[in-house]
Amino acid sequence: MRVLVTGCGGYIGTTLTPYLLQRGYRVRCVDWLVFGEDVLEHVSGHPNFELIKRDVREIDGAAFSGVDAVIDLAAISNDPAGELDPELTLSINYRARARNARLAAERGVSRYILASSCSVYGRQDGVVDETAHPNPLTTYARANLLAEREILPLASRRFAPVALRFATVYGPSRRMRFDLVVNSMTLTAYTEGRIYVEGDGTQMRPLVHVVDVARAVAFMLEQPPDAVAGQVFNVGSDDQNYRVIDVAKAVQKVVGGEIIFRGEIDRRSYAVSFARIRRLGWQPIYRVEEGVRQVYHELLLGHLKPEERWWTVKWYKRLLGK
């Protein structure tokens, strides 16, 4: 199977791409590589890897030629970054994805996976599932929801779009992110001996390892189209719904360090049910403390360094001249 992956040079994409290659997929990637070309060095020589270096908003129908499935990851990748330029966020995270889904359907691509986010839930009481009314509080979350609502109705006997709402991701990656809660806390515990908690730490976050995200994407590609077409699936596990303060304690248990409270309470707080994807037979293999150990290990060995480009907002500000 040939798969087109947009955003292959991102945090998830640089993990997903070698995982798909290892499973025998042929992978065509589209990315403008704003975080550097070196993030794809681990796959660049693979005979089944093809790179189209281009802005995802500019690809044409030819990119979908001979493609069986599209995995649309390309996006401004978190809530704070999405607010730097809301129009840019909407143009990439919503309009480009809707356009590419239509192009894929027109070109005979049979499968399409939209990388969405549990951030669409915003702030919720209790545990919510895919039937809950979304409450997007940021441009990033709204763009994901708009993309879902335009793409999923394209489902037909020949075209099977699916939206995967990822929990907050953690773990080491070739395009690292130190602006994600588990990774950020692990880094500051290592470099400063401090673990920073925004507000009082009672806000809820569902969490999932980056390798488990890659596993979930491949799992969804391999499901019968009729079983998943036009549907939304939360990706994570019920036992990884964490209060932020409990994430800090998990990091402290592995790395050590003092927990410091600061800033305002995040408006976003949601616990999520993952029963729908579990019923299909998928479940994660990693847990938070394992992810902390992995990131800590990479820092200790010098394989991970706190470069500016590993903070999404900092890097986008530099690119946008802000």
The enclosing H or E element of 128 equals: strand 123-128
In tens, the pLDDT along 24-43 reads 999 999 999 999 999 999 99
Rounded-to-integer distance, Cα 277 and Cα 258, Å: 37
- The position carrying tokens 């992110």 is 177
pTM for this prediction: 0.96
Give residue 168's pLDDT: 97
- CATH fold of 2-167+210-235 reads Rossmann fold (3.40.50)
Indicate the pLDDT class of residue 265, thresholds 50, 70 and 90. confident
The crossing angle, in degrees rounded to 10, of helices 244-255 and 181-191 is: 40
Instruction: Compute the distance between CA of residue 242 and CA of residue 220 in angstroms, rounded to an integer.
Output: 25
Confidence check: pLDDT of 322 > 80: no
Query: What is the residue extent of each domain of the chain?
Result: 2-167+210-235, 170-205+239-269+286-320
CA distance 316 to 322: 8
E-assigned strand segments in 167-221: 168-170, 194-198, 204-209
140-199 pLDDT, tens per residue? 999 999 999 999 999 999 999 999 999 999 999 999 999 999 999 999 999 999 999 999
Residue 96's pLDDT band (boundaries 50, 70, 90)?
A: very high
* CATH code for the domain defined by 170-205+239-269+286-320: 3.90.25.10
Could you give the CA distance from residue 48 to residue 221 in angstroms, rounded to a whole number? 18
Start-to-end CA span in the chain (Å): 42
Q: In the prediction, which pLDDT does 266 show?
A: 76
